[in-house]
Amino acid sequence: MSDQVKAPEEEKVRKRRPGPPSRRAKSKRHQDNLSKVNSKARYSTQDGVELIKSSSEANFDESVDIVMSLGVDPRKSDQLVRGSVSLPHGIGKDVKVIVFAEGDMAEEALKAGADVVGSQDLADKIQKENWLDFDVAIAHPSMMRFVGKLGRVLGPKGKMPSPKSGTVTPDVLTAVKEFKAGKVEYRTDSGGNVHAPVGKKSFPKESLIENVEAFIEHIKAVRPATAKGIYIKKVVISSSMGPGIALDEH
């Protein structure tokens, strides 16, 4: 019986995970910024802001953002952390504000700086055209008969007016002025985190520090009564193109 020569087994091809074949290499600027931050450290607000200010510049004025991880259960309505806060130095962004109002109130809103004002026509534009080219929607309580049906469109985008965030109010004039000046809305996401812009990298160091501290103190003040254990678990600030910098603020 002659020996049969077995053909060599085909080399197994390693399956590649779906997605691009390779990730883009980190830029020299990003690597330089990463090298300045100790990922295990917790910085004071002043030191954290100084790290952001001293990082290598991008080719645009980066936003500075804050993320706070909270010890809340966002599935429970009584632990939802949501609202708005006016930061001492604004956020350095041109905020596009729309207003649901009629008559004299609509005229006042336009004079106060609202970008678009309407009632049922504005609600129809959002619902039928999926128009979402704005940052904040403010509504007079009498307009909720039109706005109420927009929950499925605006809710997932975090743009649905609500009394808790100060965007459903009889004082439309003040609300428009505050949001145009940089009032910030926030809401816990599914992981129990709140995110918010706190300024621009070009801001003076002192202005960024005051904005960060004002936001943190505000979140501390709105702790839900039913939240148990550690409330503020972690605080991180970062610029648009920079690494996260953990703060020692809890």
Which range is least confidently modeled, 27-41, 68-82, 105-119, 181-195? 27-41
pLDDT of residue 133: 95
- Domains with residue ranges and CATH for the chain: 39-93+182-250 (3.30.190.20), 94-181 (3.40.50.790)
Report residue 207's pLDDT band, with 50, 70 and 90 as the boundaries.
very high
pLDDT digits (tens, 9 = 90+) for 144-158: 999 999 999 999 888
Nearest one of 216, 223, 231, 219 to 71, comparing CA atoms? 231
pLDDT of residue 58: 80
Tokens representing residue 73 in the block: 């259960």
Helices and strands (H and E) in the chain: how many: 8, 9
Helix or strand or coil: residue 64? strand
pLDDT of residue 57: 78
pLDDT of residue 149: 94
Report residue 182's pLDDT band, with 50, 70 and 90 as the boundaries.
confident
